Structure 1
Amino acid sequence: MSKKKTPRLPAVTPEGKQSQRTRREEMAQLLVDRKRDERRRAIRIQAGIGALVVALVVGITVGVLSTGGEDEPAAVPAGLTESGAVRFGPDDAAVTVRAVEDFQCPACRQFESALGATLAEYRASDDVAVEYVPIAFLDRASTTEYASRALNASMCVLADAGADAWMAMHESLYAQQPSEGGAGLDDRTLASMAVDAGADIDAVGPCITERRYDDWVQEHTDEVMSSGVGSTPTVFVNDEPTQPGDLVAAVDAARS
């Protein structure tokens, strides 16, 4: 038998060794380049995400500041003068009586009881105008901010049905004025009174329960109080402060 010969591997020349080393170096360099490219790509992705997050944060912040930084103006009831009064009488009246009142104020109820008929005569005359400036600074006299709720209810009537209906509501609020320290009339009662005064329940009902003019009530009250009014009723005849008991004499003097 002949011996099986072991195949001989081709000899590696110095040039072959150099070629293998070059390929290994090229592969190593490719690996390094690939890892470097992957790192750069990851950095670019992270940078893009960071920029997007910053943009979103800035956008949200700007949106919040633009909507919440400035308060929206208060809804103002239709039918008021520029000074926030309900006016009866001609614009060119020789005499203007202005009464600042609060529907929770017992002294205002007494004023209306004593001089309501006289004020009605003035409202019907050609030379005397009457302005009512209702405010709400006596919320502390009830447990439900009744002064503000009553004024808001009267403004709901004014906006829906006009000045004559407001006057009917005005008289009803004083006729049914609750005692101080309690809860005051509830919203359902105020809505019923508003309808009796001539307003539409579908209009005044939500207006009363939502306290639609509450912001205006607070702003208006602050403006009137800051003008020098310190109590109610405060009465003026042609912008001159007048004691309620001296009202008729003051009007007669202004007429002459």
Structure 2
Amino acid sequence: MTLNGRPSQKDRRTDAREHARQLRDDTAYTARRRRRLWRGGIGLGLIAVATIVAVSIVAAVRPAAAGPLNMASDGVLLGADESGVVAASTVAVVVGEDPIATDPTALANLVNITMYVDYLCSYCGQFEAANAEQIASWVTAGNATVEIHPIAILDKSSAGGSYSTRAANAAACVADSAPNDFLAVNTALFAAQPDEHTTGPTDADLLSVLHSAGVQSEAVTDCVTEQTFASWVGGATDRALTGPLPNSDVRTVTGTPTVLVNGVSYTGAFDDAAAFEEFVLTEAADLDDDEIALAEAQAAAAAAAAAAAEAAQTGVTE
């Protein structure tokens, strides 16, 4: 029925409901397609992670020393843009200030992988060997970000060489001076991982590892040899061990690697790439479900608002 050549309110409400249904169907299709694209290794669009702003304060022990640039959260956040892997740009936390947690709302609709690692930890090396390539592919495709927190809990296992601290310091030096190379350096450090209960590589050896990953500068050389961020590494380690871990269901680091996906702890085998992929895909599916629920709520609200506005305009009621 029409009134003055216009559809009746009942017809308009029917049309609104149909529009809402179509929106829900379209959103569900997009979510299913996202999962298929992820499994096929096809990117969903590149992200400019360098624009992410960290805003949430971590309630933890105050740092003993100033931290590096681009590690305000005690970790470096890596994503991708048209140029490749890029690090989120953050200020250096100064002496007496608390670290700043990454704002999870800035990572909406992405899978954020967070890792707390010790470069002497053999289980960390197993996780890296099994999963580094697929994590890098997810990051460069724009499906995920990865936030890496180097800590030092195994100095006692390096025969007096303090290798855990020295390697974490070297990683911090790279974050400070060449942050976009951090992922490559992280992989190189694990590839050169020494055995526990040895002194480990010298600082000169560490610099050679960084050079092999494409990082070679006077600033990094001085930072590594002077162990500029060694005290900061100690503070970051204490904070990880005492907690709370921000944006997470895990209160503290109790061992390495501690791997979180959207704040949920991975408890599978560290050397099982298929198990980790399935875990990540499960978290990605949860993101899709959230998107669908949001779209349904928005569609229903839009339909109700349209109906209410029309009723107010025409004064017609069913």
* Normalised TM-score (structure 1): 0.67
- Tell me what 1:86 maps to: 76
Q: Secondary structure at the match of 2:114?
A: strand
Within the alignment, does 1:138 sit opposite 2:154 as a pair?
yes
Q: Secondary structure at the match of 1:89?
A: strand
5+ residue gaps, structure 1: 1-70
More moved, 204-213 vs 84-93: 84-93
Match of 1:75 among 63, 66, 77: 66
- Tell me what 1:216 maps to: 232
1:124 Cα shift? 1.6
- Tell me what 1:151 maps to: 168
Asked whether the equivalents of residues 113 and 260 of structure 2 are also in contact (C-alpha less than 8 Å), the reply is: yes
Structure 1 residue ranges, 4+ long, deviating more than 3 angstroms after superposition: none
Q: Secondary structure at the match of 1:212?
A: coil
Q: Distance in 2 between matches of 1:78 and 1:244?
A: 33
1:73 Cα shift? 5.6
Q: Distance in 2 between matches of 1:109 and 1:237?
A: 19
Match of 1:234 among 258, 267, 270: 258
| Matched ranges for 1:91-130 at <5 A | 91-94=106-109, 95-130=111-146
Name the CA shift for 1:75/1:195 in 2 (closer, same or farther; >3 Å).
farther
Aligned residues: 184
Q: Secondary structure at the match of 2:259?
A: strand
Asked whether the equivalents of residues 77 and 159 of structure 1 are also in contact (C-alpha less than 8 Å), the reply is: yes
Q: Which amino acid aligns with 1:230?
A: T
Q: Which amino acid aligns with 1:86?
A: V
1:168 Cα shift? 1.7
Q: Distance in 1 between matches of 2:221 and 2:147?
A: 26
Cα RMSD, aligned residues only: 1.9
Q: Secondary structure at the match of 1:184?
A: coil
Q: Secondary structure at the match of 2:279?
A: helix
1:239 Cα shift? 0.7
Asked whether the equivalents of residues 89 and 125 of structure 1 are also in contact (C-alpha less than 8 Å), the reply is: no
Q: Which has the higher contact order (CA 8 A, sep 6+)?
A: 2
Q: Distance in 1 between matches of 2:231 and 2:68?
A: 11
Asked whether the equivalents of residues 93 and 128 of structure 1 are also in contact (C-alpha less than 8 Å), the reply is: no
| Matched ranges for 1:14-25 at <5 A | none
Q: Secondary structure at the match of 1:236?
A: strand
Q: What do the CA deviations read for 1:81-113 (whole angstroms, capped 9, x no partner)? A: x32122122743422111111100001000011
**Higher alpha-carbon Rg:** 1
- Tell me what 2:187 maps to: 171
Within the alignment, does 1:248 sit opposite 2:263 as a pair?
no
* Normalised TM-score (structure 2): 0.54
More moved, 83-92 vs 166-175: 83-92
More moved, 93-102 vs 180-189: 93-102
1:176 Cα shift? 0.9
Q: Distance in 2 between matches of 1:72 and 1:134?
A: 15
1:244 Cα shift? 4.2
More moved, 119-128 vs 229-238: 119-128
Q: Distance in 1 between matches of 2:64 and 2:258?
A: 28
1:120 Cα shift? 1.0
Q: Distance in 2 between matches of 1:73 and 1:145?
A: 18
Q: Distance in 2 between matches of 1:195 and 1:203?
A: 13
Asked whether the equivalents of residues 124 and 256 of structure 2 are also in contact (C-alpha less than 8 Å), the reply is: yes
Q: Distance in 1 between matches of 2:203 and 2:217?
A: 12
Q: Secondary structure at the match of 2:149?
A: strand
1:221 Cα shift? 0.4
Q: Distance in 2 between matches of 1:72 and 1:145?
A: 20
More moved, 241-250 vs 223-232: 241-250
